[in-house]
Structure 1
Amino acid sequence: MASIFELPDDLLATLIESFPCRDAQIRALATLLYPRAAPCRNLIVHGTEATGKSTVTARLLKELSSPRADTDDSLLNYAIVKSAECVTARHLFERTVGSVADALQWEESGTVGRCETLAALTVELTKLLTYDQRHDKDWRFVLVFDGIDRQRDAPPTLLPALARLSELIPNLTTIFILTAPSPSLLHVSSTPQLYFPPYTKPEYVTILSRPPYTPSPLPNTTAQETTDLWTRFAAAVHDALSKPASRTLPGLARSCAALWPRFTAPVSAGTYRAREFTKLLVAARAYFQDESVLEPGITLASKPTTSLTKPSSTTTSNGAKTGENEWSRSTKDLATLLPPTARLLLVAAYLASHNAPRHDQTIFSTWHSGRRRRGGGSLGQHTRVSKKAKHRKIARKLLGPSAFVLERMVAIYAATRSEWVRDGAYEDQVGVDGDVGMAIATLASLRLLVRVGGAGGAGDTMDRGGKWRVGVGWEVIRGVGRSMGVEVEEWLVE
């Protein structure tokens, strides 16, 4: 039995090749738009940002509107109106009438008058589409409103009125491209909806493994080896940066393009081969953790002007100097922007969150030890611990922070400040910037210290009995400590 549908299969095959992982959406869209298939009156195309809604729709309409082989005319014409380019509702109406007149090559397109209301829009579109006798009975016109849910100054009846146009104009199909439609959006029943879901990880890798995203072959490497390395590299970038930096396909493509030269530097230098993906990933792990590689304008590295000793640099396999990179990362943001008192309090808060209170007297009391304490980590090996603690496999600095009382953090700050300042280069600065209350308020406003308990964490900042929790991790606090010449790990009890 022959099919009643006459979809241009060769055209669809070309589109599916151009837009991988969107074959189901392309076939459904062509079926609902092609005049000799199953054309509909209204269609809602929805999905999140950068899922191919607008691009696939525009490309499909362009191919479907091409002239037929047996005649110079086509079965379909279309016009696309982008709401982002329309300032007001009146601007949208006049842009719609002008786009339809241009698509039909209307002789009087330059004389289209003012269109300020929905009623005037209906009259103008009816005059353009209903009384045009130049096309056969199968001819249809597709009117696309791209991003119509974000139209500024739109009346509440805009979408239902636009959906009623197809009832007055039989050969009209209206497409609404939206982000998240509501169930009663058009006030019209039985409106088909076509969903463009977000890309999954295998789909991301498939798309990035095709032109124009694939890179040129690396030196001393075949094209197939470069393609295989690029495929595994794209998957690694997706796992590392998908949520914070590349939630969309363009974002992931930009991240891969920025990291690819640094990732393949050891291959170009001849240190590693393209097949040694694990070694390349370990050598480039710092680039996957540094936001400045993707967005250089967000954080600017600046070296301190104090007399701290700069660590010696060692050259890695990819040509980068690990000592200089680590020094630059450790002196960014918090290590350079926070005043000395705030930095000392932040380190004290980290120690209060990750050390048990029973160890405070042993670590921070000079009377108990008989000498100035350094090396809390080694001290923990001689401290009596329970049987359960002996079998703990995870380092304390890798566990989540615990809540502490504000009085305990200030006590740790007072006990350690004299030693840390004497060993560092900030002894003359702490005496000037000695407002502990202001430093605590600053850390709380930056969410580096988080108040826990109570109604939403509200209350007096300097309440001695208030409970807090440090809001930074180990990598950040290690950089803050090293900027003052303090190895925080020596003060942690394992």
Structure 2
Amino acid sequence: MTDLTDNRLQELTLEFPARYNQFDLLNSVLSKDKTTNPTAIALVGQSSSGKSCVLRRFLQEVQFSHTWLSCDECVTLRVLLQRILAALRAIGTQDPNKLDYSVLCHNSTLFVTQLNDTLRALALEEAHFVVLDRIDELGEPYESFYQLIINIGNMLRYDGITFILVSSRSEPRSSVTTTFPHIYFPPYSKAESLAILRKESPDSIRSMLGSTERKLSDAQLTSLWSSYSQVIIDTYFPLYGPDIQQLKAIVRRVFPTYAKPVLDGVVGILASNRNYHGFVKLYKINQPLLTSEEFVRNSFVSYVQGTGAAESTGHHDMPMYAKYLLCAAYLASYSKPRYDIRLFSRIRESRRRVRNTAKQKFKDKINSRNLAPSPFEYERLLAIFQCIVPDRIDSVTDIQTQVATLATLKLITRVGIGSDSSGGSSIDILGSTSKWRVNVSWDIILQISRDIKLQIENYLMD
């Protein structure tokens, strides 16, 4: 099988909602004919946008010969190049898991030479695809590998191989003029996230509940799960945005407690969505569960006591946009406002001469990260946040609530107390002219930026 029909693409879209265009582009660009494929293709999009699962399902459907490599398991670029050569040499063997790592690959020149020798020995009749999943999580900077992939088409003497780069981060600045195709995976909208959460089979829903005395039919489970998914999306999507992994973790953790009144017989659920009174009663019973932080705190404490896990949740429990806001707060505190146009705008900065005094020269020698954070206005924080977020922000996302949460956690602190015209204390702490200061160290910000695939070093002058 080579090409997918439109009917089959529609069926795959039912399995992966909102990804028809991506399947269609993959079907149009890739082929078994080794002479028509590009040397490389990049799949780009933020985390939890379905890049890897869509690509894996497509390659399985069209039955293309491919090799899948996880780059986050490679400590250095040398290890990755060695694994590529070893995987290609294992094509056609009886046991592809027994890879030969004896081949040496110290640099890109030797890699190209070995790759040409391998392709000559293989004599591929059909195209073979090398998938480099999570290339942005390589153990060392991958800019040099991007440059190698850009130019490798001019250095190979044999056809038959195509590299597929899967990344949650945009290509490096030095490679923005790449000529190979890019397929973009946009973040899921609220309706698309709801459709994904609702794609749970009755058996999977029943396994979340465990062994219970009252048995619900498949239709009742589906009806209960459908209404429950709607409640979770309405409650948590403004905070977590299109982060499907975090949303799935929430629905799986909260569902057994949410469904307990149904299992105890307090609320009756019909095998349809027309039982509005039952769903409203169930929601009212579980309203404290969805609006209070006591459940999260108690669940986490019991989890720690039961598993012996560390007592610190870490930055992985923060919503995605909260991580971007915290990074924006750090940039606002440790970068000077006069450099904002140069760092965060595409418009060329107007040049003007500035007298470089001896005092200024001495200040420039000091790394700003070794100094105390400078205060910044709330309006500037939002402007930097809009610049570093790679995708358009959904209109339902509550940014002010997340800023208030960061302030409650003391990750950002208010500077000074404003006063109104009557001399009293100002209550608008999120006013455009309110002053803030970040309260997080560089090491923590670096970990958070790595988690959201943000190259924060590119936005700092030193």
Q: For the superposition of Structure 1 and Structure 2, which TM-score range results when normalised by the shorter chain?
A: 0.5 to 0.7
* Partner Cα separation in structure 2 for residue 28 and residue 60 of structure 1: 11
Letter in 1 for 2:141: A
Residues 201 and 235 of structure 1 are in contact (CA less than 8 Å); yes or no, is this contact kept in structure 2? no
Residues 31 and 39 of structure 1 are in contact (CA less than 8 Å); yes or no, is this contact kept in structure 2? no
Residues 292 and 298 of structure 1 are in contact (CA less than 8 Å); yes or no, is this contact kept in structure 2? no
Aligned-residue offset at 1:15: 4.2
Matched, 1:21 2:21: no
The verdict on how the C-alpha distance between 1:116 and 1:293 changes in structure 2, with shifts beyond 3 A counting, is farther
Letter in 2 for 1:79: T
Summarize deviations over 1:83-130 as a string: whole Å, max 9, x none: 210111211111221122223439996374211101111111111124
**Aligned ranges for residues 11-50 of structure 1 at < 5 Å?**
15-36=12-33, 39-50=37-48
Between 1:228-237 and 1:109-118, the stretch displaced more is: 109-118
Q: What is the percent sequence identity of the aligned residues?
A: 20
Letter in 2 for 1:117: N
1:223 to 204, 218, 224: 218
SS in 2 for 1:177: strand
Matched, 1:272 2:261: no
How high is the TM-score relative to the length of structure 1? Answer: 0.53
Letter in 2 for 1:231: S
* Partner Cα separation in structure 2 for residue 171 and residue 449 of structure 1: 57
**Aligned ranges for residues 147-186 of structure 1 at < 5 Å?**
147-154=134-141, 156-167=143-154, 168=156, 169-182=158-171, 186=175
The verdict on how the C-alpha distance between 1:444 and 1:197 changes in structure 2, with shifts beyond 3 A counting, is closer
Residues 163 and 174 of structure 1 are in contact (CA less than 8 Å); yes or no, is this contact kept in structure 2? no
Q: Which residue of 1 aligns with 2:116?
A: 126
* Partner Cα separation in structure 1 for residue 409 and residue 252 of structure 2: 36
Letter in 1 for 2:116: T
Q: Which residue of 1 aligns with 2:3?
A: 7
**Aligned ranges for residues 243-322 of structure 1 at < 5 Å?**
243-244=238-239, 247-274=242-269, 275=275, 276-291=278-293, 293-294=295-296, 296=298, 298=300
1:238 to 233, 242, 245: 233
Residues 135 and 142 of structure 2 are in contact (CA less than 8 Å); yes or no, is this contact kept in structure 1? no
Q: Which residue of 1 aligns with 2:130?
A: 143
Matched, 1:82 2:79: no
The verdict on how the C-alpha distance between 1:30 and 1:293 changes in structure 2, with shifts beyond 3 A counting, is farther
Residues 449 and 470 of structure 1 are in contact (CA less than 8 Å); yes or no, is this contact kept in structure 2? no
Residues 3 and 62 of structure 2 are in contact (CA less than 8 Å); yes or no, is this contact kept in structure 1? no
RMSD, aligned α-carbons? 3.9
Residues 42 and 175 of structure 1 are in contact (CA less than 8 Å); yes or no, is this contact kept in structure 2? yes
Matched, 1:58 2:68: no
* Partner Cα separation in structure 2 for residue 119 and residue 40 of structure 1: 21
Return the index of the structure with the highest Cα Rg.
1
Summarize deviations over 1:448-478 as a string: whole Å, max 9, x none: 9844358xx9xxxxxxx9968698xxxxxxx
* Partner Cα separation in structure 2 for residue 77 and residue 172 of structure 1: 10
Letter in 1 for 2:100: G
Matched, 1:115 2:105: yes
Residues 41 and 174 of structure 1 are in contact (CA less than 8 Å); yes or no, is this contact kept in structure 2? yes
- What is the number of equivalent residue pairs in this alignment? 304
Aligned-residue offset at 1:178: 1.4
* Partner Cα separation in structure 2 for residue 45 and residue 252 of structure 1: 23
**Aligned ranges for residues 325-340 of structure 1 at < 5 Å?**
none
* Partner Cα separation in structure 2 for residue 101 and residue 64 of structure 1: 23
Q: Which residue of 2 aligns with 1:452?
A: 416
* Partner Cα separation in structure 1 for residue 232 and residue 408 of structure 2: 33
Higher helix proportion: 2
* Partner Cα separation in structure 2 for residue 111 and residue 239 of structure 1: 51
* Partner Cα separation in structure 2 for residue 449 and residue 185 of structure 1: 36
Residues 40 and 149 of structure 2 are in contact (CA less than 8 Å); yes or no, is this contact kept in structure 1? no
Letter in 2 for 1:160: Q
Aligned-residue offset at 1:165: 2.2
Aligned-residue offset at 1:173: 1.3
SS in 1 for 2:41: strand
Letter in 2 for 1:34: S
* Partner Cα separation in structure 1 for residue 86 and residue 294 of structure 2: 46
* Partner Cα separation in structure 2 for residue 152 and residue 466 of structure 1: 54
The verdict on how the C-alpha distance between 1:34 and 1:445 changes in structure 2, with shifts beyond 3 A counting, is closer
Aligned-residue offset at 1:60: 2.3
Instruction: Show structure 2 runs of 5+ residues with no match.
Output: 270-274, 303-406, 430-462
Residues 86 and 101 of structure 2 are in contact (CA less than 8 Å); yes or no, is this contact kept in structure 1? no
